[in-house]
Amino acid sequence: MIRDSRIANDLTAAWPSLPYIGLGVWLAWAYLAYSGSMWLSDVETNGENLAGFYIVSTVSFALVMLVAPLKEAVVERMLGSDACMLGAGIAASLGCIMVVLAGPYYLAASALFYPGVCLTGASTALVGLQCARLYAGLAPRKAILYAAFSHIVLACLYFIATGSPQWQPIEGGPSLVGIIALVGLPVAASALVCLPARSDARTARATACKKAVPPVFWKMVLAVFVFALVENSVRANVVYEMSLDVTQDSNSVIMLVRIAMAAAFAFLATVDRNIDFGRIYSFVMVAAVAFVAFVPVFGPLNVGWSMSVTAVSVVFEFVIWCILAFVAFQKRVSFVLVFGFGYGSFMLGSALGWLESIYVIPLIANPSWQLATYLVLALAVLACVFVLFSERDFDKLFMPESDEESLSSLFGINPFHAADAKKGSFGATVDLACEQFGLSPRERDVLRYLAMGYSADAVAERLGVSWNTARTHSRNIYAKMGVHSRQELIEAMDAMKCRANRGLATGKDR
């Protein structure tokens, strides 16, 4: 329906990143809904109802994400249907309408409020999976760039919705702009992710094959769950106890942090060919350890310290989304499996963290016991970064197998199509040789370095593979191209380059 329409194809041809902005629109809805500014009434004095919305919606979202890999074929058929995706967006909007109609007295209208909240979580999970499908087909630097752009869109939509005139259709109720944003954004997000994403052959090849994830992936999933649990255990009680004005002010500051973070990652994606996400992951986890450990010093209800923890969580969420996209792209694993368990565990940990922060930790009246509790939480994160899923495990996760490309070589893919169109004659010759002799993606990388005169040892070091692997690929290339040495290969590539240039010159003369 949408994917096949001429207007949609013309639109994405002119604006290739448009479908990927659906991530920013979906997250904008989530942060507006979970901030409460779009649906809470003036009678609210704290974050009790806001916490109820967040916990119920997040649990339903997480359950759909975690169940999706068990019904992968069904989920992929649903995601492939424009009608189903638009239906998910409409269902989420219907849930938002039910929340708004419940009014300020949620105990009396709980039969309308909680089913509506569940509907928002379950429906937006499908939108999230569709976003995952799009990002799993992107090379790493482009995934970072589009994700950063989406987070900037998120912040802009947040400030537009919260900064617009707060005219209330019903005195004391939510604003008209808030209702429109809350109800309209899920449909807008579902429509955007249904647009035809323009991908090249490399992207299509990367998502065509589906196989099991490396065992170390499950260690990362557990580490993500623990981090989300601990981080939300620290900050949720502040939202629950403080006035909504304090919560709104804190959210605005966090959005400014989000813009700065997105700008930094976008800059890195355009200028740096090898961003060390393993190091970034470790840094974020260590920062979380420090902030959690010092909570008893500043107080569990210290707003400034809670904002610091939230800022760390914002960076972590961005990094994890990108890492999951890298795994699906490099390993050619089903995005439903990778994001279903990976992002689903993050959301489940977040919901359980809120429950722990609101209903468990406050029961510990003794300050010394509270100190011990936060130290245990900090040690849990510390164990994740140094024992459960360390930088060494990160390297194992992206260790290339068979004809997979290393993460460093994938970072070498230019995120701009225009730059690819203007690639040098050497790159064009390598592509021509791959097409003519049927070389695999891994063999293409090896050929590139062999044609530059690198030895097998140097090729292995550059690509991050073993000497035996580089040697095997070199022999396969020699056999396919009919050469017997590196020098013959270089001469063959030079001859191919000359023929290509002569053909290009002849074409211009005509």
Residue 201 pLDDT exceeds 70: no
Confidence (pLDDT) at 458: 76
Model confidence pLDDT, tens digit, residues 474-500: 999 999 998 988 788 888 888 887 776
- pTM for the model stands at 0.80
The pLDDT-based confidence of 355 (bands split at 50, 70, 90) is very high
CA separation for the pair 171, 174 (Å, rounded) = 8
Which of 357-366, 373-382, 456-465 has the largest mean confidence?
Answer: 373-382
Residue, of 13 and 95, whose pLDDT is higher: 95
The pLDDT-based confidence of 469 (bands split at 50, 70, 90) is confident
Contact 400, 214 (CB under 8 A): no
Question: What topology is assigned to 6-197+207-397 in CATH?
Answer: Growth Hormone; Chain: A; (1.20.1250)
Rg (CA), the chain: 25
* 81, burial (CB in 10 Å: exposed 0-12, middle 13-18, buried 19+): middle
Residue 412 pLDDT exceeds 80: no
Residue 417 pLDDT exceeds 70: no
Residue 203 pLDDT exceeds 80: no
Where do the CATH 1.20.1250.20 domains begin and end in the chain? 6-197+207-397
CA separation for the pair 124, 89 (Å, rounded) = 7
Which of 47-56, 200-209, 263-272, 317-326 has the largest mean confidence?
Answer: 317-326
Residue 319 pLDDT exceeds 80: yes
Residue 207 pLDDT exceeds 80: no
Residue 413 pLDDT exceeds 80: no
Q: Taking the CA atoms of 350, 65, 39 and 317 in sequence, report the sign of the dihedral they define.
A: positive
In Å, how far are 33, 124, 381 from 97, measured between CA atoms? 12, 15, 39
Report, as an integer, the average pLDDT of 81-87.
Answer: 94
Confidence (pLDDT) at 186: 97
Residue, of 51 and 36, whose pLDDT is higher: 51
Model confidence pLDDT, tens digit, residues 159-194: 999 988 888 887 777 888 989 999 999 999 999 999
Residue, of 20 and 418, whose pLDDT is higher: 20
Confidence (pLDDT) at 109: 63
Structure tokens at 321: 């989304």
Question: What topology is assigned to 423-509 in CATH?
Answer: Arc Repressor Mutant, subunit A (1.10.10)
Residue 422 pLDDT exceeds 80: no
Residue, of 142 and 360, whose pLDDT is higher: 142
Where do the CATH 1.10.10.10 domains begin and end in the chain? 423-509
